Amino acid sequence: MKLYPLKFTPIHKPKIWGGEQWLISAYGEDVSVVENGYLAENDLNELVEVYMGELVGDHVYEQYGNQFPLLIKTIDAQEKLSIQVHPNDEVAWERHRSLGKEEMWYVMDARHDSSLILGLNRDANREQLSAALQNGSLPDWMNVVKVKEGDVAHLPSGLIHALNAHVKVAEIQETSDLTYRLHDYNRPGLDGKPRELHIDYALDVIDYKQHEKPLVNYSPKQNGAVNLVENLHFVTNLICFNKTIERDYMPLDSFVVYICVKGSFSLVSDEEGDMTTILMQEGEAVLLPASTEQVKLSPTTNEAKLLEVYAP
């Protein structure tokens, strides 16, 4: 039986500040389950174990084994998130036997006054930020950046960051949930108890340099792809289209994830006569197996926008 584009049932995560939808996940017990086709009700871990490189790409399977390497989310922030930082792979493995957490955000929706915290607004050191945490002045050190729909932020490990209120993003990240909270506005969690902070761990991994270019500079390309972020863990392109286009993945030895970030579109995949058609709405994701050679994308609104994500 041939593989085909896979849609998964979203995993809903209510939060004190809003909520997340984990669209494609193989993290811990939160493993995505297929909802379309003959593989429905199988989970992502099972698929990687059975199909290996045919699903994720031979070089991806050689590197990660049965661990699907990315976690795909949408995040709807109605209130501020905690000010936080993530460790790199080396520190994460040494401390937690886990992958680190490099990630990116694509702003899907934002109110006119919405903003992100992206790094420091001036150079600092451990002693200065430690003192700021004790006297409550940490927010004064943060680089606050106003954002609008379509803005993109790359969040390497070590970068202090946070979503502020009234912004919705698509998030692409390593398969990890390691977050070191520095400051959480003295809020209780959903259980009514104060949420745990991880100050010593965080101070060990922070990039103390000013973050001078917080947003990715790019120009959208109509009916084509433009690169947004490329690192050791993932490549993300933005595709904007108002007519039918084709994408050729013959040379690519990786799975591909599409995240619909604007409008809607249909996806048609024809694998040696086995045709699959999927309708994609804003906020949904689909996984194209590495065996996929070509797909046809047709907008069902005036224009559609999607993020195209794969392993380098």
Mean pLDDT is lowest, of 97-111, 148-162, 270-284, for 270-284
User: pLDDT tens, 64-122?
Assistant: 999 999 999 999 999 999 999 999 999 999 999 999 999 999 999 999 999 999 999 99
Question: What is the pTM for the complete model shown?
Answer: 0.95
Looking up tokens 């809903």 gives 12
Q: Are 183 and 133 in contact (CB under 8 A)?
A: yes
**Residues annotated as catalytic (active site), given as ranges:** 181
pLDDT above 90 for 188: no
User: pLDDT tens, 216-264?
Assistant: 999 999 999 999 999 999 999 999 999 999 999 999 999 999 999 999 9
**In 10 A of CB 111, how many CB atoms?**
13
Structure token digits, residue 266: 């249909």
User: In one letter, which amino acid is 89?
Assistant: D
Check residue 81 and report its DSSP letter. Answer: P
pLDDT above 80 for 211: yes
